[in-house]
Chains A and B, each alone.
Chain A
Amino acid sequence: MKKLPLSFKIITIILVFYTLTAGLLIDVPALNILNETIRNLFFHVTSWFSMVFLFLASFVYSIKHLRSGSEKDDLLARLFVQVGMVFGTAGMVTGMLWANFTWGSYWVPDPKLNGAAIAMLAYLAYAVLRNSFQDNIQRGKVSAVYNIFAFVMMILFVFILPRMTDSLHPGNGGNPAFSGYDLDNTMRMVFYPATIGWIFLGLWITELRFRMETIKQRMK
């Protein structure tokens, strides 16, 4: 991974600050039940998008590691999973808070919730697997294989299975999604920048962690 240019960091800062201010201040459609919690779209949904993006990056680096055997690719695969887990946890916490206000309980038996929880478990298992090796090369290869397998299953669990059954989530089972609420597209003005902003933030964190880890290894 190359060092990120300054312009990338400036764009990230602008987008994240824009999300935090505009996301909390713009006019949102006034709706029953949802009320102001509709603003969670800018934080909850975007967290999951970032998580999936970061796991996808990790998946790509795992494939690269299997082909090249380079330790850097393995390190990046690990770091992308770690940062992705942070975003996944953020998505889960924001979702649970939202669910408490909208559905009346922190956790409901919904296919999307279960899918997300299982995906997080699979990636926690990835961390356990990594720690059970002594040898670096063996650890890299075996955990890359598991990562690829887990990613394919996660896609199935998060994207395909919830669409086969009804979900309580907006956009599923007859519940309107945000495009249905909002005709003049004000929410899109924040939603898309927010998605890009959080994804960029994830990339930035990963880049910093990558530089830290490489320096640590050099010092040994």
Chain B
Amino acid sequence: MADLKNLTAILLKEFKSDFRNPYVLGGAGLFLLSTLFVCYITVKRINTPAIWVALYWIIMLFTSFNAVAKSFMNESRSRMLYLYTLTGPSHFIAAKMIYHALIMLILSGIAITVYTTFFQIAIGDHFMFYTSVFLGSTGLAIILSLLSTIASKAGNNLTLLAILGLPILLPLLLVTITLMKNAIDGIDLSVQYKYLFVLFGLNLSSLGLSVVLFPYLWRE
């Protein structure tokens, strides 16, 4: 029970501090909207599902870099240490990941609504389609949470985060893109099942790895 209490306390703190400085999240949201609009103006119409899905995930990839990376860079070192000693590092990273996942879900909710209105496409399997949006954006948030801590240890460098993040994120993106493309084509669940399984496993394993590895990072 104490675990849950600690988690919710950090989560609440994250929400409060972000609502007090809304420019961070607002910046990420505005970045997302501008990118979507630029894509709409330049591309206008997408007929092939493969390109439709690829463009969507490229937009989400860069939005996630903006949304997640800033979060660690805003925390001062002393305040981080204070929080760690209050709750323990595992709780801290778990709460951070849940928080980032929630933020990414809100952002991808906005993104998918705007994107489907700009670029209309017939979706074969709605349930799988939204599952891929859900799992893909939570996966981005989870993996980037640990990586942005690593990058922040090496001097708050956004370039470093991109270098570290892109190769690690690619398996996730590839599986998500396949799942989403198949969902648009309305491919049967018996084919989709293995992608769903791998995506789910990827999310869970990176969550587990982060919780195990973060305690070695926090003191540095």
Contact = CB atoms under 8 A, between A and B. Distances in A.
Interface stretch (A86-94, A100-108, A137-145, A186-194): A137-145
B160 A118 contact: no
A142 B220 CA distance: 8
Interface in A103-128: 118-119, 121-122, 125, 128
Interface in B144-175: 146-147, 150, 153-155, 157, 160, 163-164, 166-168, 170-171, 174-175
A138 B167 contact: no
B216 A141 contact: yes
Interface string B170-207: 11001100100000000000000011001000100110
Contact of B160 (A132, A138, A141, A153): A132
A142 B168 contact: no
A138 B170 contact: no
Interface of B: 146-147, 150, 153-155, 157, 160, 163-164, 166-168, 170-171, 174-175, 178, 194-195, 198, 202, 205-206, 209, 213, 216-217, 220
Say which size band chain A's interface belongs to: 20 to 34
A67 to B, nearest CB: 9
Q: Main SS of the interface on chain A?
A: helix
Nearest 9 A/B pairs, CB to CB: A122-B167, A132-B154, A121-B167, A138-B220, A145-B213, A125-B163, A142-B153, A66-B216, A118-B167
10 contacts: A128-B160, A129-B163, A138-B153, A142-B220, A145-B146, A145-B216, A146-B164, A149-B147, A153-B171, A161-B174
Interface of A: 66, 118-119, 121-122, 125, 128-129, 132-133, 137-138, 141-142, 144-146, 148-150, 152-153, 156-157, 160-161, 164-165
A145, A149, A161, A164 — which one has the most chain B CB atoms within 10 A of its CB?
Answer: A145
